[in-house]
Amino acid sequence: MLLALPAMRIFRQAFPHSILEFLGRPERLAVISHDLQASSIHSIDQGGMAYFYLEGVTLPPGLFTFFSSFRAVLIFEKAGGEILADHLRKIGVSRVIFIPSFPPEDLRVPVSDYLVKFLKDAGIGGERIFSPLRLPDKSLAAGRDFWAEHELKEGDRIIAIHPGSGSPAKNWAPKNFARVADWACERFKVLLVVGPAEDEVEEVKRAMKKANPIIADHLSLVQLAGVLKSCTAYVGNDSGITHLAATLGVPTLAIFGPTDPVVWSPKGSQVKVIYEKKSCSPCSSEMRSQCGLQCLKGIGPDAVIEILKPFLG
The DSSP line for 68-92 is HT-SEEEEEESTTHHHHHHHHHHHT
The model carries a pTM of: 0.93
Query: Structurally, how many domains does the chain consist of?
Result: 2
- Taking a C-beta distance cutoff of 8 angstroms, is the pair 225, 31 a contact? yes
- Output the pLDDT for position 287: 62
| Alpha-carbon distances, residue 13 vs 7, 100, 133, 276 (angstroms) | 10, 21, 16, 39
* Share above pLDDT 90 across residues of the chain, in percent, rounded to a whole number: 79
| Alpha-carbon distances, residue 56 vs 15, 65, 75, 84, 87 (angstroms) | 32, 18, 20, 12, 10
User: Is 128 inside any structural domain?
Assistant: no
Interstrand relation of 95-100 and 252-256 (parallel, antiparallel or unpaired): unpaired
- Taking a C-beta distance cutoff of 8 angstroms, is the pair 133, 35 a contact? yes
One domain for residues 276 and 173: yes
- Average per-residue pLDDT for the chain: 92
- Taking a C-beta distance cutoff of 8 angstroms, is the pair 213, 205 a contact? yes
User: Is 55 inside any structural domain?
Assistant: yes
| Alpha-carbon distances, residue 229 vs 25, 110, 158, 181, 277 (angstroms) | 22, 24, 10, 19, 31
Q: Over range 161-168, report the average pLDDT.
A: 90
Q: What is the pLDDT of residues 86-127, one digit of tens each?
A: 999 999 999 999 999 999 888 899 999 999 999 999 999 888
One domain for residues 156 and 109: no
Burial 165-180 (b: 16+ CB within 10 A, else e): bbbebbbbbbebbbbb
- Taking a C-beta distance cutoff of 8 angstroms, is the pair 171, 158 a contact? no
One domain for residues 164 and 274: yes
- Which domain, by its residues, includes 23? 5-121
- Output the pLDDT for position 16: 93
- Output the pLDDT for position 215: 96
Residue with the bigger pLDDT between 234 and 282: it is: 234
User: Is 127 inside any structural domain?
Assistant: no
The Cα 278–Cα 296 span in angstroms is: 10
One domain for residues 97 and 170: no
pLDDT band at 193 (very low <50, low <70, confident <90, very high): very high
Residue with the bigger pLDDT between 281 and 188: it is: 188
Q: Over range 182-204, report the average pLDDT.
A: 87
Instruction: For residue 249, count other CB atoms closer than 10 A to its CB.
Output: 16
- Taking a C-beta distance cutoff of 8 angstroms, is the pair 234, 250 a contact? yes
Burial class of 86 by CB neighbour count within 10 A (0 to 12, 13 to 18, 19+): middle
Q: Side chain identity at 83, as an amino acid letter?
A: I
Q: Side chain identity at 221, as an amino acid letter?
A: L
One domain for residues 103 and 149: no
One domain for residues 19 and 96: yes
User: Is 138 inside any structural domain?
Assistant: no
Q: Does the structure show a pLDDT above 70 at 285?
A: no
Instruction: For residue 99, count other CB atoms closer than 10 A to its CB.
Output: 22
One domain for residues 182 and 272: yes
Burial class of 258 by CB neighbour count within 10 A (0 to 12, 13 to 18, 19+): buried
Q: Does the structure show a pLDDT above 60 at 288?
A: no
We report the CATH number of the domain holding residue 28 as 3.40.50
